[in-house]
Amino acid sequence: MRQECVAREITREMVVGTFMVMILLGLGYFTIILSRESFFRKQLTMEVRFEDVMGLRETDGVVVRGMTVGKVKEMTLEEDGVHVFLSLDKPLHMKPDYRISVAATSVLGGRHLVIDEGSEGLPELPSGRVFRGEPPYDLMADTAELINAIKEQFLEGGIVDNLRETTVHLRDVAVRISEGQGSLGRLLSDDETLYEDLSSAVSSLRTVSGRLERGEGAIGKLLSSDETVYEDLKAITGSLRKLSERLERGEGTLGRLMAGDDQLYEDLAASAASLRTLSAKLESGEGALGRLVQDDELYDEIRAAVIELRATIDDIRETSPVTTFTSVFFGAF
């Protein structure tokens, strides 16, 4: 009986021990997986210098083209910045236009290191050098700065006062509308005068639209299915096009005026210059016509001569019958 109890106790202890060993092995396995440690592969190292790591921590992941290729192994604070040592699973081919930055994994927090190896076709940089990281972009800090700027604009820029004044004006407008003032207030009030005016206007518009639909009036004819007006307009357009073509070719008087040839313009300019010279001579009293225009005595003498000539002609008319009778009488003998 005692041997059975001892054997049962030993069996129980072995089962418990086996279970504990399995639990420890499972914990060790998951610890290795979560820490991304590889004890069976050779790890590559890489050193990057940052001015600010923005809360980057050891064991944070290293991402290349969206794929995790290592982790942050160690960080040291030096005089020239923060030196971050990376543990990589595979070698990277860094080019002269590489980029290394710290990025947020989510809005709630978390960081990882993002590496862009650079453009293909460029020479590869040596792996033993210290690479330079870009300044981090802190979304939360920029958001806080933006909120503070908006807050200052609201408080110090007068936006709150403007909103307060706008609210007062809106309240005044609402009161005027509720009291039936203005066009909108009259529309919303019990007064049906404006409603009747609008109904009359709508009725008139309906009548006009009916006349247009039936083709009455000039606009109605334009909108009707009768193509006579369209053909007339088309003919007028054709005539205008032909006229514009003739003008463009320089045909006719107006076409010659609008043509690129300046001969007609020069002739007109010469004629204008001659008229200007002639008018100047007339004004200065040069020539017979100029003396007639300017000299009043010559004008009076010519007028007196004309009067005397008219009197002489009148006398000849009066004596011409007697002279004619005498010549006929003596001519008969």
Per-residue pLDDT tens digits for 138-172? 666 677 777 887 777 766 666 767 777 888 888 88
**Structural domain contains residue 221:** no
Q: In this predicted model, what pLDDT tens digit does every residue of 12-40 receive, in sequence order?
A: 788 888 888 888 888 877 666 655 555 55
Q: Total domain count for the chain?
A: 4
- Please give the share of the chain, as a percent, with pLDDT higher than 90: 17
Answer yes or no: do 120 and 167 share one domain. Answer: no
Answer yes or no: do 133 and 169 share one domain. Answer: no
- Give the structural domain span for 125: 41-140
Mean of the pLDDT values across residues 281-297? 68
pLDDT at 191: 61
**Structural domain contains residue 185:** no
> What pLDDT band is residue 278 in, cutting at 50, 70 and 90?
confident
- Judge contact between 130 and 49, C-beta under 8 A: yes
pLDDT at 333: 46
**Structural domain contains residue 278:** yes
**Structural domain contains residue 151:** yes
Q: In this predicted model, what pLDDT tens digit does every residue of 38-61 receive, in sequence order?
A: 555 567 899 999 998 988 899 899
Q: In this predicted model, what pLDDT tens digit does every residue of 87-146 receive, in sequence order?
A: 998 889 999 999 999 988 876 778 899 999 999 889 999 888 999 999 877 666 677 777
Element (DSSP H or E) covering residue 292: helix 287-294
pLDDT at 115: 94
Answer yes or no: do 99 and 65 share one domain. Answer: yes
Answer yes or no: do 16 and 92 share one domain. Answer: no
Q: Which of 115, 140, 165 is the last residue of a domain?
A: 140
Average pLDDT over the chain, rounded to an integer: 77
First to last CA, the chain: 214
Q: Is the pLDDT of residue 178 over 90?
A: no
pLDDT at 101: 93
Answer yes or no: do 58 and 136 share one domain. Answer: yes
Place of tokens 């089962």: 15
Complete edge-to-edge strand list for the sheet that includes strand 81-88: 99-104, 111-116, 61-64, 67-78, 81-88, 44-50, 130-132
144 phi and psi, to 5 degrees? -65, -40
- Judge contact between 232 and 224, C-beta under 8 A: no
- Judge contact between 63 and 112, C-beta under 8 A: yes
DSSP per residue, 116-162:
E---TTSPPPPTTSEEEPPPP--HHHHHHHHHHHHHHHHHHSSHHHH
User: In angstroms, rounded to a whole number, what is the distance separating the alpha carbons of residues 279 and 171?
Assistant: 78
Answer yes or no: do 103 and 134 share one domain. Answer: yes
pLDDT at 122: 92
**Structural domain contains residue 314:** no
Place of tokens 């076409």: 255
Answer yes or no: do 166 and 78 share one domain. Answer: no
The candidate with the shortest Cα–Cα distance to 225, out of 233, 215, 216, 217, is 215
User: In angstroms, rounded to a whole number, what is the distance separating the alpha carbons of residues 102 and 57?
Assistant: 11
**Structural domain contains residue 209:** no
Answer yes or no: do 29 and 77 share one domain. Answer: no
Q: Is the pLDDT of residue 1 over 80?
A: no
pTM over 0.75: no
Q: Which of 87, 113, 140 is the last residue of a domain?
A: 140
Answer yes or no: do 63 and 81 share one domain. Answer: yes
Q: In this predicted model, what pLDDT tens digit does every residue of 242-268 receive, in sequence order?
A: 888 887 777 776 666 666 666 666 777
Q: Is the pLDDT of residue 328 over 50?
A: no
Answer yes or no: do 99 and 120 share one domain. Answer: yes
**Structural domain contains residue 94:** yes
- Judge contact between 124 and 93, C-beta under 8 A: yes
The candidate with the shortest Cα–Cα distance to 116, out of 135, 94, 84, 137, is 94
Q: Which of 84, 111, 140 is the last residue of a domain?
A: 140
Answer yes or no: do 159 and 174 share one domain. Answer: yes
pLDDT at 231: 76
Q: For 51, which DSSP code?
A: S
pLDDT at 82: 93
pLDDT at 49: 95
pLDDT at 186: 67
Answer yes or no: do 49 and 123 share one domain. Answer: yes
**Structural domain contains residue 279:** yes
